[in-house]
Amino acid sequence: MSIENGDFAGGVAVITGAAAGIGEGLARRAGALGMKVVVADISGEGAEAVAQDLRDQGGEALAVRVDVSRPEELDRLAAEVHARFGDVRLLVNNAGIETLGLTWEIPAERWERTLDVNIHGVVHGVRAFAPRMLASGQPACIANLASVGSFGVMPTQTAYIMSKHAIQSFSECLYLEIQMTGKPIQVSTIVPGMVKTRIFEASAGAGEPEGAARHRAVMRDLMASYGMDLDAACRIIFDKLMTGVFWIDTQPDMTREMIDGRIAFLTQRAEPQLAPVARSILGLDN
């Protein structure tokens, strides 16, 4: 299905992880399109700052502190939003964290947090909101944040990569399930490439193994040098959302390269190998 700009305007957008990064960029873009924006984030202070900025620009926005790793908090969010605004036009399950380090060195707590936020936060976001969206019978959209990493591998980023593989397959299955209902709900997978955010800042690495700091610093510098501007990426995402497509990528060439590499790997039944750029990032060429 396709949602036109006029259908977004005036509708309600719920965006998780919206106090920073891509979530914040999408919240600001939704506000610019005339949507009522629910800025959901584990940082209540950060969410309120974004919501207040949207209100200062003449928009309508509500900040809600939500820990997406807790299903009951997503249930509370859905109930609160429905009671205050009614039907939701756009749900973006964006909240996610990056975890770096060797699989066996990452503490159990950090492993559980990563999987709970990156996977369960999306699953339970859909579970909490989809029943009301289906019952309304109105056009709506559910968009889940995947990544170009959904189609590749990267050692020491295993926790993040596997979570994004999971979200991609979840979104594909969800698309088919929604089709079975015959209801006018669009399902999209958002596949960002390298977009300038603060996901690799040192402060985001609390609980990671000591050796992860170098990798995090290298990725932060790469993103600063070569990443796409956040506002430009969010404009592309919304432009594609409004065409009703399933695939929404910010850098199609990057997505294509990752997918082509994955296809070749599976077709050839090859052993996993590091790409040259990955060897450089990991310091294995020294």
Number of CB atoms found within 10 A of residue 228's CB = 18
* Cβ atoms of residues 94 and 69 within 8 Å: no
Question: 13-24 burial string, b = 16+ CB within 10 Å, else e?
Answer: bbbbbbbbbbbb
Rounded CA-CA distance 31/49 in Å is 14
Sheet of 12-16: strands edge to edge? 61-65, 36-41, 12-16, 90-93, 140-145, 185-191, 247-249
Q: What angle do CA 26, 27, 33 make, to 5 degrees?
A: 90
Task: Residue 163: name the closest of 147, 143, 142 by CA.
Answer: 147
Task: Residue 196: name the closest of 238, 250, 157, 144 by CA.
Answer: 250
Query: Any idea which residues carry the catalytic annotation?
Result: 160
